[in-house]
Structure formats: structure tokens, C-alpha cells
Amino acid sequence: MTTLTIAEPVAPPDQGDKGLRAGALGLISSVVIAVSSTAPAYSMAATLGLIVAVVGVHSPGTLVVSFLPMLCIAYAFRELNKADPDCGTTFTWTARAFGPRAGWMGGWGIIAADIIVMASLSQIAGRYFLELVGAGSAGTAWVTTVGVAFIALLTWVCYRGIEVSARLQQVLLVIEVGALAVFAVVALVKAGAGHALPGAAPGSRRTCWPTRRPRPGCSSPSTTG
């Protein structure tokens, strides 16, 4: 007589706390981190002036056009995170879809981009911090030292955990958006009162949309700014 023996399934070994903890970030923290990732103050300080200098009054259209690919990328990330949440993001998803070589290139591409942008961010942070404390005439060595100190401080915050980082970003985002709002209001008030900075267009000039026949008092948008 034959006896059948059915082996019981073996439980997988305990993985501990490996992976992402569910519910670590709420809606507000997620929105704050997403807005902080766009770096509104850094964009104002490092890129907006260059865009206006190159394309002038076409800057709003340029920003709208550049937003479209970002929107598509954000939508793709949302769908990928919904289907396969993984903190490896581009590296993991690309490796599973196209193989390890493509995933390796994507992962190292992100690392290289982060290193380059962190150098730029730290330079901006160091320069404006020295301006804030009245040491705007400090040399490159001091700017670099302050920038490296900021990187070390933020690295320690990231090491403490995502929740600590999210709370800190909430405070910094309030300060950042508040400062930008104050700058915008002051700039508009000064421009409207005729006390704009040297080189600004006089307040008496009117900007009109181009037409076939010129109108008195109007200047072409291509010649303003």
C-alpha cells in the first residue's frame, strides 16, 4: 500500500523592516515634497532671468511648453508607482522592462544628474546665505564651504528618515513661498509706481497684441522687455 505525503509549505524567512513602510507620508507631506522638488525659489534665482533674457515676452509660453513633457513624465511615474511601487524607480522599472543594462544606465544617469544639480543648488544656497548675513563679498571658497555644509546637513536629515525630512520641507516650503510672494508684490508695486530697477521698461509704455495697423501708444511685444 502506497502512502502519499504532502509537504507543508515552508514560510519564507523574516525580511524584517525591508521595503517601504505603508502610510509613512500623508497627502499634505506628499504634496509638499512634490512642490519642493520643483524648486520654485531656485528656478527664480537660477533660470528665470536667463529665460527672460533670451526669449523676452515669450517666457510664459516657453514655460508652458516645457511643462508638457514634465506632465507626461509625472503621469507615467504615477502609473508605474500604482502598478509596481518601488523606491528604485527608474532603475528598477527600466531593468524589468528592458534588461539590466538599460536599468544600470538609467540609474547611473540619475545619480550623475543629482551630483551635478546638487553642486549648482549648493552654490546658489551658499551665495544667497552669505548675502543674507551681510557677507555678499565673500569669495568662492566661502561660498563652497557654506554649500558643502548645507549638503552635509540635508544628508543628515535624510538619514533620520522620510518623516523628519517631510516635516522640515513643510517649514522650508512655507518660508520659500512666502518670500517669493513678498518679492512678487514688491516688484509689482515698484514697477507700477515708477520705481522699478534700472533697465526696466517705463510704466508709461503700453504693450499691445500685434495687429496689421499700428495703434498710437502701443509698442510691439517683440520690442518690449
The terminus-to-terminus CA distance of the chain in angstroms comes to 97
Q: How confident is the model at residue 205 (pLDDT cuts 50, 70, 90)?
A: very low
- Measured CA angle at 114 (ends 109, 116), to 5 deg: 95
Contact in structure between 218 and 206 (CB atoms under 8 Å): yes
Q: Tell me the per-residue pLDDT of 19-31, one tens digit each, with 9 for 90 and over.
A: 556 666 777 777 7
On the 0-12 / 13-18 / 19+ scale of CB atoms within 10 A, 91 is buried
Distance CA 220, CA 211 (A): 9
Longest dimension (CA), the chain: 110
Comparing 156 with 217, the larger pLDDT belongs to 156
Residue 124 burial by CB count (10 A; 0-12/13-18/19+): exposed, middle or buried?
middle
> Taking all residues of the chain, what is their mean pLDDT, rounded to a whole number?
76
**CB 20 within 8 Å of CB 85:** yes
Whose grid coordinates read 512655507?
174
Question: pLDDT tens digits for 104-162?
Answer: 898 898 888 888 888 888 888 888 889 888 887 888 889 889 989 988 988 888 888 87
**Strand (E) or helix (H) holding 207:** strand 206-207
Give the pLDDT score at 207: 46
Residue burial 43-77, b: 16+ Cβ < 10 Å; e: rest:
eeeeeeeebeeeeeeeeeeeeeeeeeeeeeeeeee
Would you say 44 and 181 are in contact if contact means Cβ atoms under 8 Å apart? no
pTM exceeds 0.75: no
**Cα 30-121-156 angle, rounded to 5 deg:** 60
Q: How far apart are CA 172 and CA 186, in angstroms?
A: 21
Say yes or no to pLDDT of 97 above 80: yes
**Amino acid 4: pLDDT:** 52
Q: Which residues touch 165 (CB under 8 Å, ≥6 apart)?
A: 33, 157, 158
Return the minimum-mean-pLDDT range out of 10-19, 63-72, 85-94, 158-167: 10-19
CA gap 42, 125 in Å, rounded? 9
pLDDT band at 181; cut points 50, 70, 90:
confident
